[in-house]
């Protein structure tokens, strides 16, 4: 598809409407890394900056995918999800970018610019300086992971008082993983050959998981690249459209993978080892299927995605 990204002329009226005619938009940069929405840093003539998010077809690189109907992590990305999740995180005491303007119909939001450095870059550049933001992030995660819900799912879809039955979360994740496995096996002969053994391994991981109905707020894919650090050293959580009530083990399987040796600084809540192991392997399969699928598009970081898929193919096969 022909992608048309935003230009200064497209947002000049928006800026004047928000800040008045005495402040003018002089430049914008489309930030890299996003795949579901456009992220733009706007530069104003008084040397201040703000961030604009745009949810539009031309901004998303993800092609359609057959999903498990009750999988809460495939609900997409949109301005209304951003708004409801922003409110929920704020209520839970989690630092997120200040909302300056929201137009759900236009799929547009303007938020504060929380800084140009991701926690991931700070951890690599200066681990000592990252200790404070990591500790604060751990406290924020504890507040999220102790914000309990009686049902799992995206916040916008949960109806207060709904008592209709829900499948066990572990069964949802197994079906989700098998769906990812089938799609990935269609793209890679090694996975096709190992399809039966990988499926059996998933079911073995499922067997010892005890039934449980306790859910909390989870980001869904929180890595240090989804946390900005302000000039004052404050961690700010971003890219939270996937926020949902779910098992905290799903979050921590991801956190362990993405934070590595720094994970213990987050002071995790108590976890179920069997559930954690199942979710960890399911995420490996997700990190094969997703990268292989987006690599078939015009996504600009195609080679990086293929390398990520290859890394996780190795992990999936080594487990069996």
Query: Which range has the worst mean pLDDT, 211-215, 225-229, 298-302, 316-320?
Result: 298-302
Confidence of residue 164 (pLDDT cuts 50, 70, 90): confident
3-state secondary structure of 247: coil
Overall residue count recorded for the chain in this entry: 320
Mean pLDDT, to the nearest integer, of 183-202? 97
Do 84 and 228 sit in the same domain of this protein?
no
Last residue of a domain, one of 84, 112, 140: 112
Do 28 and 143 sit in the same domain of this protein?
no
- Which structure tokens are listed for 134? 């990591």
Last residue of a domain, one of 46, 78, 112: 112
Q: Specify the number of domains making up the chain.
A: 2
- pLDDT at 292 > cutoff 60: yes
Do 222 and 81 sit in the same domain of this protein?
no
- pLDDT at 37 > cutoff 60: yes
Do 149 and 238 sit in the same domain of this protein?
yes
The reported pLDDT for the residue numbered 59 is: 84
The reported pLDDT for the residue numbered 60 is: 82
- pLDDT at 64 > cutoff 90: no
Last residue of a domain, one of 73, 95, 112: 112
Mean pLDDT, to the nearest integer, of 245-265? 96
Confidence of residue 100 (pLDDT cuts 50, 70, 90): very high
Residue 229 domain boundaries: 117-318
Do 258 and 271 sit in the same domain of this protein?
yes
- DSSP one-letter string for 155-187: GGGPPTT-------HHHHHHHHHHHHHHHHHTT
- Which structure tokens are listed for 311? 């890394």
Query: Which range has the worst mean pLDDT, 27-36, 102-111, 193-202, 242-251?
Result: 27-36
Is 174 within a domain? yes
- Burial of 191 by CB count in 10 Å (0-12 exposed, 13-18 middle, 19+ buried)? buried
- pLDDT at 1 > cutoff 60: no
d(CA 244, CA 157): 10
- pLDDT at 34 > cutoff 70: no
60 near 293, Cβ under 8 Å?
A: no
Q: Who has greater pLDDT, 294 or 156?
A: 294
Do 105 and 242 sit in the same domain of this protein?
no
The reported pLDDT for the residue numbered 300 is: 86
Is 1 within a domain? no
């Amino acid at each position: 598809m022909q992608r048309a990204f935003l230009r200064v002329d497209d947002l000049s009226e928006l800026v004047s409407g928000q800040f008045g005619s005495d402040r003018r938009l002089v430049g914008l940069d489309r930030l890299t890394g996003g795949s579901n929405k456009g992220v733009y840093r706007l530069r104003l003539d008084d040397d201040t900056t703000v961030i604009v998010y745009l949810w539009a077809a031309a901004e998303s690189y993800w092609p359609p995918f057959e999903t498990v109907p009750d999988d809460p992590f495939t609900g997409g990305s949109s301005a209304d999800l951003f708004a409801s999740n922003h409110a929920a995180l704020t209520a839970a005491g989690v630092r997120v970018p200040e909302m300056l303007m929201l137009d759900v119909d236009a799929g547009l939001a303007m938020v504060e610019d929380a800084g140009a450095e991701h926690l991931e870059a700070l951890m690599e550049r200066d681990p000592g300086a990252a200790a404070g933001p990591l500790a604060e992030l751990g406290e924020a995660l504890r507040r999220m992971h102790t914000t309990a819900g009686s049902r799992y799912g995206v916040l916008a879809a949960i109806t207060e008082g709904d008592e209709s039955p829900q499948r066990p979360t572990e069964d949802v994740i197994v079906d989700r993983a098998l769906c990812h496995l089938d799609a990935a096996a269609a793209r890679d002969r090694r996975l096709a050959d190992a399809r039966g053994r990988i499926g059996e391994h998933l079911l073995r991981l499922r067997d010892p998981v005890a039934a449980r109905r306790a859910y909390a707020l989870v980001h869904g894919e929180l890595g240090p690249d989804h946390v900005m650090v302000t000039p004052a050293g404050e961690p700010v959580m971003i890219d939270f459209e996937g926020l949902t009530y779910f098992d905290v083990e799903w979050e921590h399987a991801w956190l362990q993978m993405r934070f590595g040796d720094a994970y213990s600084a987050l002071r995790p809540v108590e976890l179920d080892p069997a559930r954690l192991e199942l979710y960890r392997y399911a995420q490996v399969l997700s990190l094969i299927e997703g990268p292989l699928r987006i690599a078939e598009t015009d996504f600009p970081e195609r080679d990086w995605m293929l390398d990520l898929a290859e890394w996780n193919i190795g992990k999936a096969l080594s487990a069996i």
